[in-house]
Structure 1
């Protein structure tokens, strides 16, 4: 495993981790482009080439955008097959990191170039959902060079022996990063409409990110008393809070990709309210409520409907626990190994 220099690197006899040099003065771990990351990527390129040369690597598995570009170069030089794990469309995500309209336009153009050509220079692309595969096909990527492999989770990690006590009243939960493509300002605006119908409702936002701007917006909307911000110090803490919820939220605005938070939600039996763009793994009124993209009224209506109907929530919760079985790593790893084996044998 070749990776950046920051993070935790536990020893494992099964594989070795090869991090690049760490720079302790740089600790911006959020998504998005920065100039310093270009330096990291250059170091990663040489590290990958060296590891492939010294360890007799037979196949490179590239995780997301930067890794795809670097692996394509090393794969070409070293004559190695490259499997690109695409986690979404760069043309959708990259513009969200800019506020200037000119920069957003340039970012989208660059993202489109990447989305159109990156899958052409690797051996095979693994995409997370059929929608993304369909978009890439319209870009001219041959269907036979793409496989749909959804993300997985370890179901045993979500076994809770006892649900913690919670305060009374309807409880809505969002757990995830605070990047702009999550459209959390829309969530707060929609939740204000929920409070008008259900004054006892509470919204918990769980994240390791900076809550400053969201807290300001909650105060501006006069819902700061109904919104609680929880700093996620560990997965265990997040999980213990998740299981106290009645419903969970995803408001991601990007096409393509797969919001992992949704798997975490349904793994503990939480019905999910989501916009259509992030509705992968959520079926309308089967294990959640799928609102029209950007429609605050519809999104709020979904929250109110589920919070008001205990019987419907119980049905959706049961279906969620059944649906999540399709995303067990045990099942998905078998599919991935089959793809790798086929590439190596060919």
Structure 2
């Protein structure tokens, strides 16, 4: 959408299905391929491999402007196997993330094997690309060090949503105005560490606070209820849907702060961008901060210890409690408007795809984000 608004002729090629509940101003190009599932769950699966193999053959037949812009490793692999030139935009490192989808594997040798498989998947995507970019500075740094390729930083464009009235949002959810409301949104995969929210809530309750833990997710909530039963959690929690913009707006308006505790280095947690766009203070693990130059009421926890999360949460609540009633300006919204605007994303994209001759003329100058010139590369053999 940002590219089209900037006058670029662009098309979005996706899987043959998506979440029909989501509104989008762009009608994507959906290839005619067989689909044995309509699951939107992240992570590897046999059904996705079948989709990706079919996508390879579709790309071989499909006309289009070269090179393709391949987001995620699946798209990069499909483009490379189809023999199509591409620029690669990394949203995560499979080397870091793959083992998180197999939490029952405990043997270190097996987990090391998963990391090696993930590294190979990353390597094929990266070495076949003409140029590479990453959606976070931290991710780009890791991939650059591991694979000796230059990586541009390509910020994810993010629009500013309409803010709901906090009191009205709490009434809609049946929450006490005086309660401390902590919000987690997103999937319930093991690496997200959403469980620590219950530990934080218990500790805050022990200090005499009324605490509500809100979980907005489209994952199966049964695992949350099972965890609560095992832990014998006696506090208040709610698991609610968050597919629609209206649902997310109410959740964020009702909360005092967002919890983003992921334990795995990856790309940019969408829940972080969304919290900042809703001007919600955030309690963020160092891994989730993604190396972004975050501004506003954000507390980054550099360790995974509960005591450090509690200290950061208390500091965050103390700082935000002095905000005048009705004034929700915590700095996050301004950060998103500047650092993740359509303009910032388009400028970074144009720098990434700029022909080398033009890059020499501009001197590789900075346009909001660091620009690294790289030589054109032909794909290496698989």
TM-score by length of 1: 0.86
Corresponding residue for 1:125?
132
> 8 Å contact 2:89–2:132 — kept in the other structure?
yes
Q: What is the deviation of 1:283?
A: 6.5
> 8 Å contact 1:202–1:227 — kept in the other structure?
yes
Counterpart Cα distance in 2 of 1:282 and 1:138: 18
Counterpart Cα distance in 2 of 1:224 and 1:234: 30
Q: What is the deviation of 1:191?
A: 2.6
Corresponding residue for 1:136?
143
The 1:45–1:270 alpha-carbon spacing in structure 2 relative to 1, beyond 3 Å, is: same
Q: 2:33 aligns with which of 2, 21, 46?
A: 21
TM-score by length of 2: 0.78
1:260-313 C-alpha deviation (Å, 9 max, x unpaired): 111110111111101111113776894211112321111122223323444466
User: Number of residues paired by the alignment?
Assistant: 334
Counterpart Cα distance in 2 of 1:19 and 1:311: 51
Corresponding residue for 2:237?
227
The alignment status of 1:160 with 2:163, answered yes or no, reads yes
**Secondary structure of residue in 2 paired with 1:83:** strand
The 1:20–1:303 alpha-carbon spacing in structure 2 relative to 1, beyond 3 Å, is: farther
> 8 Å contact 1:2–1:48 — kept in the other structure?
no
Corresponding residue for 1:336?
349
Gap regions ≥5 residues in structure 2: 1-11, 171-175, 359-375, 377-382
Corresponding residue for 1:108?
115
Q: Which moved more, 1:162-171 or 1:84-93?
A: 162-171
**Secondary structure of residue in 2 paired with 1:205:** strand
Counterpart Cα distance in 2 of 1:322 and 1:268: 10
Counterpart Cα distance in 2 of 1:329 and 1:165: 29
Q: What is the deviation of 1:8?
A: 5.5
**Secondary structure of residue in 1 paired with 2:60:** helix
Counterpart Cα distance in 2 of 1:87 and 1:13: 23
Q: What is the deviation of 1:117?
A: 4.2
**Secondary structure of residue in 2 paired with 1:101:** coil
The 1:8–1:138 alpha-carbon spacing in structure 2 relative to 1, beyond 3 Å, is: closer
> 8 Å contact 1:62–1:84 — kept in the other structure?
yes
Corresponding residue for 2:74?
66
Counterpart Cα distance in 1 of 2:353 and 2:292: 29
> 8 Å contact 2:279–2:333 — kept in the other structure?
yes
What does residue range 151-300 of structure 1 map to in structure 2 within 5 Å?
Answer: 151-155=156-160, 158-160=161-163, 162-163=165-166, 164-166=168-170, 167-168=176-177, 169-223=179-233, 225-280=235-290, 286-300=296-310
Corresponding residue for 2:97?
93
Counterpart Cα distance in 1 of 2:153 and 2:293: 18
Counterpart Cα distance in 1 of 2:236 and 2:26: 47
Corresponding residue for 2:59?
48
Gap regions ≥5 residues in structure 1: none
Counterpart Cα distance in 2 of 1:115 and 1:132: 12
> 8 Å contact 1:184–1:251 — kept in the other structure?
yes
Counterpart Cα distance in 2 of 1:191 and 1:161: 25
Counterpart Cα distance in 2 of 1:236 and 1:228: 17
**Secondary structure of residue in 2 paired with 1:171:** strand
Higher relative contact order (CA 8 A, sep 6+): 2
**Secondary structure of residue in 2 paired with 1:199:** coil
Q: What is the deviation of 1:93?
A: 0.9
**Secondary structure of residue in 2 paired with 1:19:** coil
Counterpart Cα distance in 2 of 1:17 and 1:344: 32
Q: What is the deviation of 1:94?
A: 0.7
